[in-house]
Amino acid sequence: MDQGKLKRILSSLERHELTLRERQFVEAVEKYLNEKGKVTDQQESVLEGIYKEKMWIRKAFRGEAVFQPTGGGEGEGRDNHP
């Protein structure tokens, strides 16, 4: 992966909510990159996977509430039987 693409991915991931493990991994990769000037193929693959997942989530839920209660009442819904 070229350095420009790698830096764009790292920059983008810093703006997204990451799990603790994802955040730790991203920080470790940044440290490795600063020390070695490159990342391993495995690090690159995992970073791309995290990035693609976050982009998919962002697109899938853009402008949509994950759960919106409808305030149903007596007799509404398919599980209510007389």
Report the C-alpha gap between 62 and 74 in whole angstroms: 32
Task: Render pLDDT for 45-58 as a digit per residue (tens, 0 to 9).
Answer: 999 999 999 989 88
Q: What is the pLDDT of residue 68?
A: 46
Task: Render pLDDT for 19-73 as a digit per residue (tens, 0 to 9).
Answer: 999 999 999 999 999 999 999 999 999 999 999 999 898 888 875 544 444 544 5
Q: What is the pLDDT of residue 27?
A: 93
Residue linked to tokens 């998919």: 56
